[in-house]
Chain A
Amino acid sequence: MEVFLVSLLNGLVYGMLLFMLASGLTLIFSMMGVLNFAHASAFMLGAYFAYSISLIAGFWVALFVAPILCGLLGAAIERFGLRRVHRNGHVAELLFTFGLAMVIEKVVQMSWGLLAVPYRIPALLDFPLFSVYGTQFPAYRAFMLLISALMFLAIWLALTRTRVGLVIQASLTHPEMARALGHDVPKMFTLVFASGMALAGLAGVIGGNYQTTSPSMAVTMGPIVFVVVVFGGLGSLLGCFIASLLMGLIQTFAVVLDYSAADLLARVGLTVTRSSPLGELLTMPLPRIGALLPYILLVLILWFRPRGLMGTRDT
């Protein structure tokens, strides 16, 4: 039971982190049709910026400044890069962000080195908040939950209560119509792209010291975020939210449940060892297969339901 509760909490924290990343990506993808490979790069940059800033000015300043830097970078990328490439089609935009991700990863290696940097949780938040059946739940995780919840609230309010937000909502499902109605779509694109990158940066600020901050962060996180976005469906933030939590829970629980398919088969009387046909596959315990789960889900969802959980448009 304790394992269940602890994993549930951890899964929620991880899921909310994923949501911070995935929400920006979903907004960009739904509205602009651009699959932003550089999104996870913004996550990485957020962590690295926060690290460097916190060395000079402390964590709390970094929490504020790093996302803004990522947002500004996003605006520049959109304004001077994406916009030019846009006329060559979606594939060109995709390739552009792909190349950008490559270059950013290398620039990070060049600027901060090849090894992980010691970006740590601020001392103020580094204490156990409460205990669940003897396992401590760090205060920092509660902080992460708080920030992600606040951010979700902020997005929701911005989208539903402001005029710009309403137009963005419309553009999520009917971008051409929004443009035909005379809204300044290019400016909104820049806004959405920059905001998405800023969000990813914020996720990096609070996630970078929770996990490790290294140049391979983007490459590890990136594909999982894509899976979440596709799983949740285009045009739906709620779908994205559900998918993020689901993915967070699945990945957390997979690590904890140390069973394999062979164990299941043993219950019905079938013995499978490593030397039986497909033995290796069936005796692989769940924690190790865990790395494969998101991608299996991606393939399944694109096969059975390309719209994702709650998508309003086909991918």
Chain B
Amino acid sequence: MHPEQQRIVQETSFLSEVVRTSGENLQACYQCQKCSAGCPVADAMDLLPNQLLRHIQYDHRDRVLGSKTIWICASCYTCSVRCPNNIDIAKIMDTLRHLAIHSGITPGEKDIPVFHSVFLDEIKSRGRIHELSLIFRFKSKTRDFLKDARLGWKMFRLGKIKLLPSSFGGVKEIREIFNALEKGEKR
């Protein structure tokens, strides 16, 4: 390949996009698998963290951004602190989730991205999370109304459920922050 062609391929590759956006040198991964050995949620993943890094190195964009793994990751940072090459894998997971949301690829986990999106809607509309409203918002999307109903009732009796959201004077400013960032994104 002509060096100029090679440069263009390199700079437009998925690997370079992830490296650039996350700021992490994931080419340093030599597959010691320490990340996957310590990962508390590895058995619910379709790609182990070390396999995910390999797929990124191979430019398998759709495989990576459509994986369950990026949503299952609980951001506990165990992988990041144990990586012998100091790759902040938890940070790469954040980058991959951001890329996945804008990619149009069907997410590997259905409910988790929906939950994050209703969580942000709740912040935008109230400024703080009112847990009961958040749960109703989420359930209206998943249509699973029975899940945790018994536990919810028990927690209500224990005084853990706040029925009404509190009113305070920060909501307007929060909406301005959201709106400004949304406009910026569209530009």
Pairing of A with B: no
Residues of B within 8 A of A (CB): none
